[in-house]
Chain A
């Protein structure tokens, strides 16, 4: 795995070692009444892996992700995230993961620096560490000199990059990205993926949903959910081989078209 980490600068408290699994899920299931939103999904994600989580709208992605983030209790099955159990250690899970969605939660009327300080503070970083992290983050994002700019005044692409960097400000074992790149221009979208690669190089596992199929091809492995099941899980190259497809778009269409349930 080229993404496995040689110079690990990540100092998180979670019990994850190199080569170990950041997510293990066994027959993880969530039912709402007689509706099975997530149907016995089993998979593992390795440290530093970029893991694509695809599925049509209504396939069960969001429900599965909520369980993995410790926000929703499974109906049955088991899972650990960052080494913690989703049933009884969900508070520890929340401390050891990062999360960013398309509707990222930066405060528009706070400055860049204030947003960093707020989130770093919430995650319990010391004042000294916050200072160090702020400088590092501003440099990585080439935003030095802009720290007093209100987030409201930033272009969408800058906000996305800032939101991602803040989502990993506490060096989590894993970061969940829910359609992070909607709406930005193709160059900014690629700059965003460079940040994802860099995080993965540092040993942070990246769990990402996207509607852009070319982005699925940037992932080390991709899973595709259909009607609550995980119908495919492999590297993009192997999936294309298995489904005799020219692109991930083809693979996705072949699988997702089999869906029978209506949202």
Chain B
């Protein structure tokens, strides 16, 4: 198991743990909701290098927010250990709060304060001023500065997001925690946001960012794929797709929905998932797969049939890992 292997690496290198921006060892968190116990995090471990953009990729309910709240000292884990910038999340919570920036998934600035007032407020809390750390936020702040007297509650989604990022950066944090910053944001704003993150990386900030969008994994240095409180895999985006391990085929015809049903009905097919204009297909055994797909197309009288051997993407890998973890 990849996650376990990483865990061993982490223990082996414990001698220079201080060099890691974040270490997480066997963190467990459960909640009791109306007498039912929910396992939010089932003993997860990973480490983030300084200056890395590390992605936590997974759907709602994966445990992403619990993890972020534990690392930002806002929530106590049931068991396990974690450090941020070398400080323990339980013992040294005050030190951590001074040196991290946190942008929660839910917009949490003061809606009835203006852009400028919000920013001044956060600067003051951290004993600094906008002027002192202006270089940190300059590129992002300039995009919203024309509206600086507008109340935060009246900003568009994209502008709120930029303001929240400025407020999280104003005290020059060494580690930045971004919990689903791009959820519900359109494709253009998402792209711009990731460009901002890559600019911040150049300034040496470590960024832990969570997202439900699988296509954003490729923008991270390394990612952890997480589902139902379990890490499915930790690797570079290339490393993750390299672990897929089986030939993957994409097929297309004019009758996509029926084609999917025909392919799924074949007992030799392991999986068939729609991906945009194509279906991605994996077979249980790999002999003559192309011929088998062509036969399915012929027998079903499908028109405009195409078949290609392709490389898997992160989403292919996520789904394959989901199936191995909950068969």
Contacts and interface: CB of A to CB of B under 8 A. Distances in A.
The yes or no verdict on A and B being binding partners is yes
A253 B277 contact: no
B227 to A, nearest CB: 6
Interface string B126-159: 0000000000000000000000000000001111
B61 A155 contact: yes
B187 A236 contact: no
Contacts of A56: 186-189
B3 to A, nearest CB: 18
B276 A2 contact: no
Contacts of B60: 156, 183-184
B319 A186 contact: yes
A243 to B, nearest CB: 14
A95 B215 CA distance: 38
A252 B156 contact: no
A62 to B, nearest CB: 12
A211 interface: yes
A212 B186 CA distance: 9
Interface string B18-52: 00000000000000000010000000000000000
Interface in B207-247: 212-215, 227
A111 to B, nearest CB: 15
B318 interface: yes
B185 interface: yes
Chain A CB within 10 Å — which of B188, B273, B323 has the most? Answer: B188
A211 B187 contact: yes
A217 interface: yes
A212 B183 CA distance: 11
A252 B186 CA distance: 10
B192 to A, nearest CB: 10
Interface in A116-148: none
Contacts of B61: 155-156
A71 interface: no
B282 interface: no
A196 B140 CA distance: 40
A42 B277 CA distance: 26
Given A57-B158, A156-B61, A262-B156, A190 B273 contact: yes
B275 A211 contact: no
Chain B CB within 10 Å — which of A2, A213, A215 has the most? Answer: A2
A248 interface: yes
A249 B187 contact: yes
A161 to B, nearest CB: 14
Interface in B244-265: 254-258
B214 A186 contact: yes
B185 A57 contact: yes
Nearest to A150: B34
B88 interface: no
B319 A253 contact: no
Contacts of A215: 276
Task: Report the interface size class on chain B.
Answer: 35 or more
A257 B184 CA distance: 18
A56 B156 CA distance: 11
Interface string A246-260: 011100110011010
Interface string A185-212: 1111010010001000100000000011
Interface in A135-185: 153, 155-156, 179, 182-185
Chain A CB within 10 Å — which of B36, B58, B186, B215 has the most? Answer: B186
A104 interface: no
Contacts of A231: none
Contacts of B184: 102, 179, 182, 211
Contacts of A182: 183-184, 212
Interface in B300-318: 315, 318
Contacts of B257: 2-3, 197, 201
Contacts of A155: 61
A39 to B, nearest CB: 18
A16 interface: no
Contacts of A2: 254-258
B276 A183 contact: no
A253 B183 contact: no
Contacts of A153: 36
A214 B313 CA distance: 13
B284 interface: no
Closest 10 CB pairs of A and B: A263-B156, A217-B276, A185-B59, A183-B60, A214-B276, A56-B186, A197-B257, A256-B188, A217-B277, A57-B186
Interface of B: 36, 58-61, 156-159, 183-191, 212-215, 227, 254-258, 273-277, 315, 318-319, 322-323
9 contacts: A2-B254, A57-B189, A182-B183, A186-B59, A197-B257, A218-B256, A247-B276, A256-B186, A259-B188
